[in-house]
């Protein structure tokens, strides 16, 4: 870590440059993986099927927001991370950190939402833990979930599997979750019908697999949005990614809100969208599956020739005039507590 990084900042958890720095310079050297390439879920070889394992914590504010709540977010977040490795979710753990004074009715609503989301995903909550912290120390409720899933033998969906010439697709319009959370906080006086894109992705991934689409890499576009995900994959694969700005689907409401606030919709968090990387020959079949779920699913870019991983901007954006500009991930998400 740099000598100036003497304390943790909110931006360290925002999915931008400081998040990457924290992970790559502190956590990866301490715990691995040896090649430094990270995925949404770790793959664990076993005598039977390959297992995928993931964990995540949820600190969203407010607990209930347009289109979802912290309980659904906790289940779908771990299910989606497993899906990015091609895994079918099998079981979840559930850790609840409760603040003294939290209304029991609120906790009951969250627990019921967790149960309903788990049922929708056909996954069981099989173990867990509960802790209570003093009033003023926990902001109501934090949740941690860990997930285990089963991966079909021989399936390898991973950042290291991408190849020059691969196409990049997104499964729907981008940025709605981050904007919905911002509106729900009522700090800026916005009024809108905008809802989060929160949704499970595992069934869509399995449809792609069942249709025989050759998938090289999947990444759900959470903190840091498309910008952060594309940057991480480009660095892991040692390639350049060229995105077509006009092809990236962003709703007018999201674009307008971001323009007003000086935010980039491509860096806004999503909780029901993924990046799909596949051979160019597979684009039509992949889009047929994706557009059954969301008509806005689109091909948005291409992987180009290799680049030095030290390149500050391995992702570039081509505008409507054909001009390329580097896509900067910035220091971190300027909307803390969005997931």
Q: Averaged over 12-18, what is the pLDDT?
A: 74
pLDDT above 60 for 337 = yes
pLDDT of residue 153: 80
Tens digit of each residue's pLDDT (9 = 90 or more) over 244-258: 999 999 999 999 999
Q: Are 59 and 139 a contacting pair, CB within 8 Å? A: yes
- pLDDT mean over 27-56: 81
Query: Residue 34: what pLDDT?
Result: 65
Specify the pLDDT at position 3: 43
Q: How confident is the model at residue 307 (pLDDT cuts 50, 70, 90)?
A: low
Q: Compute the average pLDDT of residues 178-199.
A: 85
> 324-326 and 298-306 as β-strands: parallel, antiparallel, unpaired?
unpaired
pLDDT in tens, 195-211: 999 999 999 999 999 99
Query: Given the structure tokens 């962003």, which residue do they identify?
Result: 250
CB-count burial class (<10 Å; 0-12, 13-18, 19+) for 222: buried
pLDDT above 70 covers what percent of the chain? 93
Cα dist. 252→95, 135, 174, 273, 318 in Å?
37, 41, 11, 17, 20
Residue ranges matching CATH 3.90.650.10 in the chain: 159-326
Q: Which CATH number fits domain 159-326: 3.90.650.10, 3.30.450.30, 3.30.930.10, 3.30.160.270?
A: 3.90.650.10
Cα–Cα distance between 226 and 229 in angstroms, integer? 5
Intervals of CATH 3.30.1330.10 along the chain:
37-151
Pick the CATH number of 37-151 from 3.30.1330.10, 3.30.750.24, 3.30.1700.10, 3.30.420.40: 3.30.1330.10
Residue 187 neighbours by CB distance under 10 Å? 8
């Amino acid at each position: 870590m740099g000598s100036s990084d003497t304390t943790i900042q909110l931006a360290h958890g925002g999915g931008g440059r400081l998040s990457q720095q924290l992970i790559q310079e502190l956590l990866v050297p301490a715990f691995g993986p040896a090649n430094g390439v990270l995925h949404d879920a770790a793959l664990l070889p076993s005598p039977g099927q390959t297992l995928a394992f993931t964990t995540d914590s949820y600190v969203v504010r407010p607990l209930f927001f347009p289109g979802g709540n912290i309980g659904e977010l906790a289940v779908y977040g771990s299910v989606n991370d497993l899906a990015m490795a091609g895994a079918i979710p099998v079981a979840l753990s559930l850790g609840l950190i409760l603040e003294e004074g939290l209304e029991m009715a609120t906790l009951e609503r969250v627990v019921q939402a967790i149960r309903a989301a788990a049922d929708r995903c056909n996954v069981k909550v099989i173990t867990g833990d509960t802790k209570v912290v003093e009033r003023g120390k926990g902001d109501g409720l934090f949740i941690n979930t860990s997930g285990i899933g089963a991966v079909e033998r021989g399936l390898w969906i991973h950042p290291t599997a991408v190849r020059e010439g691969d196409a990049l697709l997104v499964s729907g319009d981008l940025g709605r979750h981050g904007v919905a959370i911002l509106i729900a906080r009522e700090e800026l006086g916005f009024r809108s019908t905008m809802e989060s894109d929160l949704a499970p992705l595992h069934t869509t991934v399995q449809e792609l697999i069942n249709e025989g689409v050759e998938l090289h890499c999947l990444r759900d576009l959470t903190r840091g949005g498309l910008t952060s995900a594309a940057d991480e994959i480009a660095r892991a694969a040692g390639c350049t990614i060229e995105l077509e700005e006009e092809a990236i689907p962003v709703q007018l409401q999201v674009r307008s809100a971001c323009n007003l606030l000086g935010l980039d919709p491509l860096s806004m968090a999503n909780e029901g969208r993924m990046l799909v990387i596949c051979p160019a020959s597979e684009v039509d079949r992949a889009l047929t599956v994706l557009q059954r779920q969301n008509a806005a699913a689109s091909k948005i870019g291409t992987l180009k020739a290799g680049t030095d991983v030290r390149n500050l901007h391995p992702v570039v954006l081509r505008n409507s005039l054909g001009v390329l500009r580097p896509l900067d991930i910035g220091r971190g998400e300027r909307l803390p507590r969005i997931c």
